[in-house]
Chain A
Amino acid sequence: MASNSGKGGADYDGGRTTGFASPAGDAIEGPIDLGEVLDLRRPHRYPVRVLGDALRERGIHPGDILIADAAAPPADGRVCIAMVHGDVWVCQIAYKRGQWWLRPASGAREPLPVVAEDDIEVWAVVAALVRTEV
């Protein structure tokens, strides 16, 4: 016996009704899957949580979830996840004078050249942002 009780109604999808047959019975599509929208099942997509508000002007707030893409090529002006001297940063990257730089959000700091020997590495490029509370 089919029943809609006990699962909070989760098994009623707009299709099967008890009285009048649903005109939408052949057109059920289900809710949108954000995992698919954000491509989270692909091997190169990593979620990262933002700490600090240095990038507020770029629209990136503390607590935001970034979807970092480890396969995306870096591009001038994009936001990236970088591994710097044992720490994990989210910051902007720039291409100048034939090489990549980490560009600070605040003018008070100097840009850092991306050099593996100095223990600075671009780990992934930020591709999307999720904010669960607005």
Chain B
Amino acid sequence: MPATYGLIDGNSFYCSAERAFAPGLRRVPLIVLSNNDGCAIARSAEAKALGVRMGDPWHLIRHRPGMDSVHWQSSNYPLYADMSRRFYQVVAGMVPRVEPYSIDEFFLDLDLPGDLHALCTALRAEVLRVAKIPTCLGWGPTKTIAKLANHLAKRHPELGGLCDLRSPELRAAWYARLSVGEVWGIGGRTAEKLRRLGVGTIADFVALDARDARDLLTVVGARVQLELRGVSCLPLAMMAAPRQGAAVTRSFGRPVTRWAEMREAVAAFAHRAAEKLRAEGLVAGHLTVFLHTNPHNGDPWHSGQRAARIEPTADSGALIGEALRLLRSLWQPGYRYAKAGVMLNDLRPEAGQPRMLFPTRDPVRSARVMAAMDAVNARHSAGTLRPLATGLARPWAARAARLSPRYTTRLEEILVARAW
């Protein structure tokens, strides 16, 4: 195991990706809203200073004083994915072993010769210059400590975006000042439970007897404690674990009250989930469909969910058929539905599937039709060719009223520069 782990992450990553191409957004408080233009999921430093919190519903906070200066954008995931790729490539070009932990966070093996502080300074500068993303970088003897160091680098601007927690003395000083709830892997409820037992700071938690920690918080808590003591328990995972399930769940742009619209939406979700499976050469043997209303806007609560085992497949037509069969039994007219979803589970590789005794589909034909559709969509754009059941006008689709261009993945939408 490496002796030093690092964690580098993008500051307000989605906002920074928007600002990379829109210099006019650099000086204004900026937030990016979730799917359907609902809640704030990224906030620039200026927006945070105005009191916008993570997850705040924009339609509720927009009338608060000071909010007229806040500019919002719909979430542009094709752009964020491509900027994440650039960020990763820059990091991987300077550090040999990198774990992509989330779209904007990478764990690093910093067991490298030379001056670590100089390397980390250069890494931040290069990510900013090339991938246009400002970052913070923390490091220490374990992943949990690296995550804490990163958190400190972000919260204390005077640290210059870098925080080195390799020294046990320095760690002890911070541990005494920080609440145990700030530790990666200690959730709010666990922190509350610990606080009631008189364990408020990280120092209190680290000082607990190891057996008590395990009895209180199971092996997971015991591992967090060991990691905080500087004993590494979590190795670097260079690759994501194989996919366990494929879920496509969406809030609707407006309440859905008609069966025809619900049927279209669920068919579209099943088709999208099937595409995800095919991209990884998987088939699913289990399917779940759910729908529910939104009680927060005063509508009566109604929800339903059904699941079934299915003949393993990644065929869009077959999965749409199975999903609609379940949906029909869930559908109750008279409600204003706000959200629905399709989840595929029991995933396995398509290759090497045992032959069914009584197959209901020709797997060769199905694979060829799906491959043809996927090839057209890869070449032109997603959704160019799709099952008619997924709808044409899609009045239920999520709102995205302020979507920025896909600057780096669509030729028609690239950055425009005026000749001067």
Contacts and interface: CB of A to CB of B under 8 A. Distances in A.
Contact of B415 (A54, A62, A88): A88
A48 interface: yes
B377 to A, nearest CB: 15
Contacts of B21: 88
Nearest to A66: B417
A87 B24 contact: yes
B36 interface: no
Contacts of B130: 43-44, 70-71
A96 B139 CA distance: 41
A86 interface: yes
Contacts of A46: 407-408, 415
Interface residues of B, number: 25
Interface in A77-119: 81, 83-91, 102, 104-105, 109, 119
B415 A89 contact: no
Interface stretch (B84-92, B193-201, B279-287): B84-92
A23 interface: no
Given A42-B89, A65-B411, A71-B130, A55 B416 contact: no
Contacts of B89: 42-43
Given A42-B89, A46-B408, A47-B408, A89 B417 contact: yes
Contact of B417 (A44, A48, A119): A48
A52 B85 contact: no
Nearest to B375: A7
Contacts of A66: 417
B358 interface: no
A83 B415 CA distance: 12
A88 B418 contact: yes
Nearest to A6: B372
Task: Kindly list the 7 A-B residue pairs having the minimum CB-CB distance in the complex, ordered from nearest.
Answer: A86-B24, A43-B86, A54-B419, A43-B89, A83-B23, A90-B417, A91-B420
Contacts of B420: 52, 54-55, 84, 89-91, 102, 104-105, 109
A30 to B, nearest CB: 16
A54 B23 CA distance: 21
Interface of B: 21, 23-24, 26-27, 85-87, 89-90, 93, 129-132, 407-408, 411, 414-420
5 contacts: A46-B407, A48-B414, A48-B417, A87-B23, A88-B418
A13 interface: no
A131 interface: no
A43 B277 CA distance: 28
A32 B311 CA distance: 43
Q: Residue among B24, B132, B420 with the most chain A CB within 10 A?
A: B420
B90 A51 contact: no
A85 B24 CA distance: 7
A103 to B, nearest CB: 9
A18 B93 CA distance: 47
A43 B411 CA distance: 17
A49 interface: yes
B416 A48 contact: yes
Contacts of B26: 86
B90 to A, nearest CB: 5
A49 B129 contact: no
Max count, chain A CB within 10 A of own CB: residue among B85, B90, B418: B418
A62 B415 CA distance: 13
A52 B26 CA distance: 24
B418 A87 contact: yes
